[in-house]
Amino acid sequence: MAPRTLIVDQASTDSRWGKPPQSRSLEELKRSCIVLVDKPAGPTSHQVAAWVRDMFGAKRAGHAGTLDPNATGLLVVAVGDATKALLLVEGADKRYVGHIVFQHDLDPRAMEEVARAFVGPVLQMPPKKSAVRRVRRIRRVFALTLLEASGRDVLVEVACEAGTYIRTLAADLGLVLGVGAHLRDLRRTGVAPFALKEAVSLSALRDALAYASELGREEEIRRILRPVEDLLSGHRRVVVKDSAVDALCHGAPLHPPGAAQIDEGIETGAEVALMTLKGEAIGVGRARLTSEKMATASRGVLVTPTRILMAPSTYPRQWKGSAKGAPRKEA
């Protein structure tokens, strides 16, 4: 359920600048969008992102959360300017379904009992073939559920913190059970707010782009291309007035005169989404106060920007520059 919004000021927005995400043209979306791809087995995540980049004729594309070449499932790919926002989901929680094969037949009840012991913080050593330095690290498993068991074959569902190695988890399960085990297949089913059922295959993406280009059929590709704002759907929002947008784009912190609406439930230090009154993402920042204190503050800093996604001059400049040309902190 969406959090309740505190109205700080009944501000309005000027239609002469900016644009609601749902009103963007197809060409605007193609220049900056998110695509949820159902990655096939075989190619690397980097190769999949490169193929998407080439389909769009874009200068750049990137992905969040690497999948091994043989793993399949949800890969979040950003195209064009949206690549700046990928870090917002790089550390997001993940969900998987894995096929584990044990060296001997397994009692499902023993497996369920051991699986419960793995819920919580686990100490892991990255696999030898991983791209990161092999040092022990703690990762959190939120849920480990036995879906099916038949002889040596077990199907499990895992919800976990980013950076959890499911291959290592499978081997550790076998170690605790006293039976060797390895991960045969892995399919990612979720990343933060995104689910595998929303993803499309590379061939479906290619066909949808061709239909839009050659036949003028834009409906399907519009269902596939997602605005960058979707990456912020899990964040609490601070909505700002038009007069504060450009100052924020230049790095100025948000002060009380620039705030219009604030979601309830924001704690001091939390990462929040900075949004326009039209629903556009300006960027993200760190809350300096709670929601309630922001709503009643008359001075001081409400939010300090940490990553800006909107290009400067999207909204008109309405702040006074310092002697060096940087904005004063009046947003």
Residues forming the active site: 68
Residue 12, both tokens: 């309005």
The number of angstroms, rounded, from the C-alpha of 178 to the middle of its chain's C-alpha atoms is 38
Residue 282 CB neighbour total at 10 angstroms: 27
Query: Between β-strands 72-80 and 61-64, what pairing exists: parallel, antiparallel or unpaired?
Result: antiparallel
Strand 137-150 vs strand 61-64: parallel, antiparallel, or unpaired? unpaired
d(CA 250, CA 256): 18
Helix (H, G, I), strand (E, B) or coil at 51: helix
Contact between 118 and 97 under an 8 Å Cβ cutoff? The reply is no
Q: Is 232 exposed, middle or buried (0-12, 13-18, 19+ CB in 10 A)?
A: buried
Rounded Cα–Cα distance for residues 61 and 36 (Å) = 13
